[in-house]
Amino acid sequence: RFVAVIPAGGVGTRLWPLSRAAAPKFLHDLTGSGSTLIRATYDRLRPLANGRLLVVTGQAHRAAVCHQIPELDTADLVLESEPKDSGAAIGLAAAILYRRDPATIMGSFAADHVISPDTVFRAAVLEAIHTAASGERGKIVTIGIEPTHPSTGFGYIRGGEALDVAGAPSARAVAEFVEKPSLEVAEKYLASGEYLWNAGMFVAPVSLMLEHLEANQPELYAGLTEIADAWDTPARDEVTARVWPTLPKIAIDYAVAEPAAAAGDVAVVPGAFRWDDVGDFAAIGRLNSAREVDAVTVLGEGARVFTEGASGIVVSDTKRVIALIGIQDVVIVDTPDALLVTTKEHAQKVKGAVAALKASG
Ligand code: GDD
Ligand code: MG
């Protein structure tokens, strides 16, 4: 009954110039493992989902995704004509799966996170699946990560009482779900020790997902229903092309997780695995399997790197020779048409630079 869903959207501008609209983060190997992030995500989920898997991505990424996951059936590849955020992507998956089997438990997992070890991840997801299937209506189950800093880019989860679910000893009710709080609030949450980060994973009965979508986002729900009704029929492409552009753009965290938590329908299972959403280039240095040249982490096969008294990160998809001498914590990202030079400390500011570059043409 479990089907995994991989929403693969977003441009990942904080990883510019490596991650671009044409080749976003999930199409790169950011750990030096030899797998792109989306392929690693697929492989991590395959044993759980037994081959039942849906990918939702932009039309522009069709060829790349099919190349990465040749196992994927075309009926299980949802292609968006334009991004409508995670609410539409995950909501449509829920609606399609509901029509195939209303008793389905779905699990949505980002395509661009780095997770290890896979076995610990799968144990947590199994607990989440048991929890999602528990009780009369089930639960929307999130996976919680111990926060390390007052990030404003994550959802925060306050756990409530322990739930008594067979096969899920660490499952708890969620008292509150707050998406992307202000820095002031995030600092308060961190200091309280009561909050976990939402890892961006949702395991739930498709019926409960749809129930909350209908209650909180009726317009989105109506559009998704129309598309899903046509999905496994010859009318699929015509209906999708007509309805998709009209859908409201909203993240699943606002559309479902926050209101469902307020209604008491959300649970959390803590994830004891290592989790990184690769939010900027400083993250590359934390991800273990990349090549090291002295104190410099090197990602990419082509470049020959020489270092002397330097530390930091080099990411290169060129065949250039790169020499770093006497500079610390530097970040060099070398691509054929754009070069980034910054430091680990300032790596988060890449997003602003990309916006400014775009504005100035
Ligand atoms: N197909 C598709 N289309 N997927 C999308 C779209 C879209 O338009 N927009 C977002 N997604 C996918 C992303 O690829 C990712 O897998 C997931 O939906 C979440 O979207 P993000 O844009 O990455 O969200 P976020 O990082 O700001 O926040 C979410 O993830 C955090 C953890 O990384 C939230 O769930 C937070 O609560 C969470 O802490
Ligand atoms: Mg994200």
* 8 A C-beta contact, residue 147 and residue 196: yes
Distance 266 CA to ligand 1 centre (A): 18
Closest Cα to atom 18 of ligand 1: 86
Q: Report which bound ligand comes closest to the CA of 151.
A: 1
pLDDT at site 287: 81
pTM score, whole prediction = 0.94
Distance 254 CA to ligand 1 centre (A): 12
Separation in Å, CA 200 to CA 160, 171, 247, 275: 19, 17, 22, 11
Q: Residue 248 and residue 260: Cα distance in Å, rounded?
A: 19
Taking Cα atoms as reference points, which of 109, 69, 70 lies closest to residue 93? 109
Element (H, E) at 175: strand 172-179
Listing DSSP states for 262-323 in one string gives HTT-EEEEE--SEEE---SHHHHHHSTTSEEETEEEEESSS-EEEEES-EEEEEE-S--EEE
Q: Residue 332 and residue 52: Cα distance in Å, rounded?
A: 40
111 lines ligand 1 (CB under 6 A): yes
5 lines ligand 1 (CB under 6 A): no
Q: Give me the sign of the Cα torsion angle 72, 74, 75, 79.
A: positive
Tokens for 116?
């290890």
* 8 A C-beta contact, residue 325 and residue 341: no
25 lines ligand 1 (CB under 6 A): no
Distance 11 CA to ligand 2 centre (A): 10
Distance 110 CA to ligand 2 centre (A): 7
Beta partners for residue 87, in sequence order: none
Tokens for 70?
């040749």
53 lines ligand 1 (CB under 6 A): no
**Residue for token digits 């330097």?**
310
pLDDT (tens digit per residue) in 126-179: 999 999 999 999 999 999 999 999 999 999 999 999 999 999 999 999 999 999
Distance 37 CA to ligand 1 centre (A): 14
94 lines ligand 1 (CB under 6 A): no
Mark 43-66 as b/e (b = at least 16 C-beta within 10 Å). Answer: ebbbebbeebbbbbbbeebeebbe
179 lines ligand 1 (CB under 6 A): yes
What's the ipTM?
Answer: 0.99
Q: Which atom of ligand 1 is nearest to the CA of 277?
A: 33
Q: Residue 221 and residue 39: Cα distance in Å, rounded?
A: 30
Distance 296 CA to ligand 2 centre (A): 26
80 lines ligand 1 (CB under 6 A): yes
- The pLDDT profile of the chain, 361 residues, written as one tens digit per residue, is 999 999 999 777 889 998 888 889 999 998 888 899 999 999 999 999 988 999 999 999 999 999 999 999 999 999 999 999 999 999 999 999 999 999 999 999 999 999 999 999 999 999 999 999 999 999 999 999 999 999 999 999 999 999 999 999 999 999 999 999 999 999 999 999 999 999 999 999 999 999 999 999 999 999 999 999 999 999 999 999 999 999 999 999 999 999 999 999 999 999 999 999 988 888 887 786 668 888 999 988 778 999 999 999 999 988 999 999 999 999 999 999 999 999 999 988 998 999 999 898 7
pLDDT at site 17: 92
Q: Give me the sign of the Cα torsion angle 59, 65, 71, 72.
A: negative
Beta partners for residue 340, in sequence order: 333
Q: For 18-61, where are the alpha helices, taking DSSP H only?
A: 37-49
Phi, psi torsion values for 43, nearest 5 degrees: -65, -35
110 lines ligand 1 (CB under 6 A): yes
pLDDT at site 302: 75
Tokens for 167?
């096969």
Phi, psi torsion values for 263, nearest 5 degrees: -90, 0
Pocket test for ligand 1, best of 14, 86, 185 (most atoms within 8 A of CB): 86
Q: Give me the sign of the Cα torsion angle 16, 333, 348, 147.
A: positive
pLDDT (tens digit per residue) in 230-244: 999 999 999 999 999
Q: Residue 83 and residue 327: Cα distance in Å, rounded?
A: 40
Q: Residue 63 and residue 338: Cα distance in Å, rounded?
A: 24
Distance 229 CA to ligand 1 centre (A): 25
Tokens for 186?
């995030």
